[in-house]
Structure 1
Amino acid sequence: MKTVNIGGVPEHFNLAWYLTLKGGEYKDEDINLRWKDYHGGTGAMTEALRTGTIDMAVILTEGIVKDIAEGNPSKIVQTFVQTPLIWGIHVAHGSEFKSVEDLKGKRCAISRYGSGSHLMAYINAENHGWNLETDLNFEVVQDLDGAVEALSNGNADYFMWEKFMTKPIVDSGIFRRIANCPTPWPCFVIAVRNEFLEANERIVKIILEIINNTTIDFKEIPSIDRMIANRYALKLEDVQEWLTLTEWSQSHLDEATVKKVQQKLIQLDILSAQRPYHQIVKNV
């Protein structure tokens, strides 16, 4: 049996992986797929791909494109979620900040450099015409729990994270969401280390076929909204809204999107040079 280590965030987007693992679908194909939760998000996973701790990752598009362009020996093999990620912009509930403009020059909590929370802070700053050199300051907090602590004790001023996962923190009066910032591209892709992909392309294809067979009809799974609400401690109505906004993908990441992501990162001065499509993506 071939062991494959895969990483992803412990969020509702990845429930399909849990369901296919629980159903033993990979074992039926003689694959021992071992899932690891990465609470630190994309920055932690790009590091794990570089070190070989994991073979595959379900990861934010902008984060892995940037890291591959900067030498991560991996390839994107497929888009996983086609729709944008809606990032909530959060402050402490009792904070004096009322609007995004109030956050100009303030301290932004990020899970780590190169993470989605880091890169999207630049997107948000550009959307509001801020000076990217002087109006952005960062405080590394590792994960969502670290952000709660940093905003609550005043070590950071705002934090960007997927709005539905942070909704319980908003509802409980710890965070206050003052705006949303959607990604300008599909949000999640599946990436594989080059060394593993070259030696195990057939295995990767089988894994993709299994997960795609689940995501293509994911919304039709009986009581899927209740399952998500219970597993991730979300309100049923929030899950139902999220499902209407989210579309999974079974397709390759196209060249135009890869170019768009890189051009935006270069424009924001967080990527130095654009790489050709074949260096970023391998369609298996």
Structure 2
Amino acid sequence: MSLRVGYVREHFSSPLLQYAEQDQGKTFTLVECPSGTGQLISRLTENEIDVAIALTDPLISGIAKGSKAYRLVGSYVSTPLNWAVITGVDSKYKSIQDLQDTPIGISRHGSGSQTMAYVMALQQGWDTSKLQFKVNNDIRGLIDSVNDGSTSAFMWEWFTTKPFADAGEVHFIGSVPTPWPSWLIAAHPERAAAETLRTFLQTLSTYVRAFDAPEQRAGADVQFIREKFGYSEADIKAWLETVAYPADCAAIPRKVLTDTLGVLQKAGAIQAEAYNVEDFVDSAIVKLI
């Protein structure tokens, strides 16, 4: 049986999409999750997908909070994610400092948009226990919420939302990069056969390395992203200068787990207690390095 692989259709997914085009559904099928990592985790929990390529922080915080629906099995993007802080076009909120004690829009509880709001609050010195959240499901709901005034702002990846800012639908008031590499791979601990997962990760690594090669970045990557996502060449090239992928998708640096847990604890997103990083991974699949 082929793997059901959940993903978010963004430019980061380009190597995965290239793999899927060649695979043609023989070994895995893609399941789009437009609401982001919160939806990916929900679908893992509800047996709608077997594997999720998702944001580092919600995956780690979910396990820290007791989820048994998945374990980490690999790495996908090794550089930080730059989150734009976004308000409505006529918003009275002109800076990040203005957002204290206001309702922040998120896609779902447990999503990257929520955990990064904690990180933003930590950076600003706010009491994270006083954060207010309003669930708006997806990017369109989030944009509507900042323009109708039901939320003050929301956070989403910079280049994904830049076309909405360029079109005059939203306004950027700042950005907050993640203090960790941005994407990991998780899988249900029982639904996917170990050998099938290993083959998937090994093959994905070849596509990731090809995408990350300098000659591909200079030409073929730009063309692929432009055709798939419609971004301007300038925006694509600017993004490519900021992103890097791991050489081996079946390895996770131990430091990624310890550093992320440390920041999430300081931000108040998870309980302040001792965590064993071995409990976060499926050691039959992934190497901690």
**Could you say whether these structures have the same fold, taking a TM-score greater than 0.5 normalized by the shorter chain as the test?**
yes
Percent identical among aligned pairs is 27
Shift in Å at residue 263 of structure 1?
2.1
Equivalent residue for 1:241?
238
Equivalent residue for 1:178?
173
**Aligned residue identity for 2:222:** D
Contact 2:63 2:280 in 1 (8 A): yes
Deviations 1:226-279 (A, max 9, x none): 221232121110110100100011252222221221222222222124431221
My pick for the range that moved more, 67-76 or 2-11, is 67-76
Q: Does 1:223 align with 2:203?
A: no
Structure 2: give runs of 5+ residues left out of the alignment.
none
State the TM-score, normalizing by the size of structure 2.
0.91
Q: Which secondary structure state, in structure 2, belongs to the residue aligned with residue 246 of structure 1?
A: coil
Contact 1:25 1:210 in 2 (8 A): no
Separation in structure 1 between the aligned mates of residue 23 and residue 76 of structure 2, nearest angstrom? 21
Q: Does 1:118 align with 2:101?
A: no
User: Which structure 1 residue ranges, 4+ long, deviate > 3 Å from structure 2?
Assistant: 219-222
Let me know the Cα RMSD of the aligned residues.
Answer: 1.5
Q: Which secondary structure state, in structure 1, belongs to the residue aligned with residue 71 of structure 2?
A: strand
Contact 1:109 1:139 in 2 (8 A): yes
Q: Which one of 30, 34, 38 corresponds to residue 29 of structure 2?
A: 34
Mapping of residues 269-284 of structure 1, within 5 Å: 269-272=268-271, 273-283=273-283, 284=285
Q: Which secondary structure state, in structure 2, belongs to the residue aligned with residue 58 of structure 1?
A: strand
Contact 1:139 1:156 in 2 (8 A): yes
Contact 1:45 1:57 in 2 (8 A): yes
Separation in structure 2 between the aligned mates of residue 71 and residue 113 of structure 1, nearest angstrom? 14
Q: Which one of 199, 205, 227 corresponds to residue 206 of structure 1?
A: 199
What is the number of equivalent residue pairs in this alignment?
A: 276
Q: Which secondary structure state, in structure 1, belongs to the residue aligned with residue 29 of structure 2?
A: strand
Shift in Å at residue 223 of structure 1?
2.6
State the TM-score, normalizing by the size of structure 1.
0.93
My pick for the range that moved more, 203-212 or 226-235, is 226-235
Structure 1: give runs of 5+ residues left out of the alignment.
none
Contact 1:263 1:274 in 2 (8 A): no
Equivalent residue for 1:255?
254
Contact 2:118 2:268 in 1 (8 A): no
Separation in structure 1 between the aligned mates of residue 266 and residue 91 of structure 2, nearest angstrom? 32
Q: Which one of 133, 137, 152 corresponds to residue 132 of structure 2?
A: 137
Separation in structure 2 between the aligned mates of residue 202 and residue 211 of structure 1, nearest angstrom? 14
Equivalent residue for 1:16?
15
Mapping of residues 155-166 of structure 1, within 5 Å: 155-166=150-161
Shift in Å at residue 87 of structure 1?
0.2
